[in-house]
Amino acid sequence: MKNALPVQTPETSIKHAVLQELSQQKKTLGEEPQITDTQVQVNVKRLSNDEHWAFGSVVILAPNVTGAFPEGKLFIAKKSTTNWQVALEGTDLFGELSQQIPDAMMSVQEKKAFSLLGNAQALSQNRPELRLPYEKGQSWVMSGGPHGWSGSDRPYSSLDLYGGDQRVLAAGDGIAYTMCANNRGWIRIYHENGYATDYYHLWNNMIPNGQPVQEGTFLGYTGTDVSCGGYASGRHVHFSLLQGNTRIPLHGKELGGWVFFETSPYNGYAMHGSTMRYTGNTLYNYGKLLANQGIVDANGGRTVNLRTGPGTNYSVVGSLNDGEVVTVSCTANGATFTGRKGSTNRWNQLTNGYWMSDAYLYTGTNDAIASSCNK
């Protein structure tokens, strides 16, 4: 009697199809044309009862050396008559299949998040409306300033952070997933505004599979976990910013009240008003800066005048300290002033009813962040 051929399970077929699609994508991009199954984790997180749909993550593992980090994407697979059609995160097909996949396989919140991938709101290009990934009011060490996900690679999308109670928290509301096969070490959150954030090296982390998380949700502790490869010499969180599934520069971006600037990998600095902090310094987490809020920047000074109207012909009624966070009610034109971001005649009326020149307010944009007071 002949030996029976081994039965190929759906998971095996899916993994093979995902590997093929990933290899083809790499070849199209002129990158590694051959990827072996020993270099890749294909993690099938969900399989429909009829075995016609699958959802999960695929990770290209990194060697356990300094300057190497894994590459991860989500995937959706749909069974056809002869094979599996695979869509990798970042492709148009992924967006299409995310809306077609049965509701029993993917929540409404997930479908909404995936429909926004790569479409971060234009108003918030330098204002992702995210906090730093730890408790508001704590100060953590920026042990690595802006650098690439793998170190010196561009864009410089990442920070290394540790300190305080070592509890790593969600930088904003979104949908969370673990990326590695053992569910350890690496969490990615897809935020409601089209951005995403990565958290690597986590210890004793939560294990989300598409669950909604809120800003400040506990994700895990800083650690040295390298379940998907790479290296960590001491406990920290390797934190990275993405737009959809594409890493983007931190340069000029505001997170937790700090605006980040790159120089060489792991160096660079952050500014809050006129205060500068370099690699090795601590960053106080001011929390999420809202769309109608700004940070007082006295451009090297200590205070900025508050007036009863939009110009120097109005009385001074007080002052704001450099670094204060204020909320803008409306705007109007008035006397021109020059600050760190250049010259402007825009004035902002704050929620206390008084006015300040927009030249001395970091907003992340040259546009008004509130409607006209004349409307």
Mean pLDDT value of segment 323-333: 98
- pLDDT, residue 123, reads 39
pLDDT tens readout for residues 140-193: 999 999 999 999 899 999 999 999 999 999 999 999 999 999 999 999 999 988
In a 13 Å sphere around the CA of 260, the CA atoms on its Cβ side amount to: 33
N-to-C CA span, the chain: 88
Burial 339-374 (b: 16+ CB within 10 A, else e): bebeebebbbbbeeebbbbbbbbbbbbeebbbeeee
In angstroms, the Cα distances linking 316 to 192, 305, 306, 320 are 41, 6, 6, 11
CA distance 199 to 214: 15
Q: What is the pLDDT of residue 1?
A: 46
Q: For residue 104, what pLDDT band results from cuts at 50, 70 and 90? A: very high
pLDDT reported for residue 282: 99
- Show me where the domains of the chain are located: 10-106, 123-284, 293-362
CATH assignment, 123-284: 2.70.70.10
Q: Kindly write down the DSSP assignment for every residue of 199-236, as one continuous string.
A: EES-BS----EEEEE-TT-EEEE-B---TTS---SS-B
> Over 70: is that where the pLDDT of 34 sits?
no
Nearest residue to 128 via CA among 370, 368, 365: 365
Does the model's pTM come out above 0.95?
Answer: no
Tens digit of each residue's pLDDT (9 = 90 or more) over 333-371 = 999 999 999 999 999 999 999 999 999 999 999 899 999
* pLDDT tens-digit series, residues 42-87: 999 999 999 999 999 999 999 888 888 999 999 999 998 889 999 9
Q: What span, in angstroms and rounded, lies between the C-alpha atoms of 275 and 159?
A: 19
3-state helix, strand, coil in the chain (%, to 5): 10, 40, 50
Residue range 293-362, CATH number: 2.30.30.40
Percent of the chain predicted with pLDDT > 70: 94
DSSP letter at 6 equals: P
* CA–CA distance, 34 with 19 (Å, rounded to integer): 10
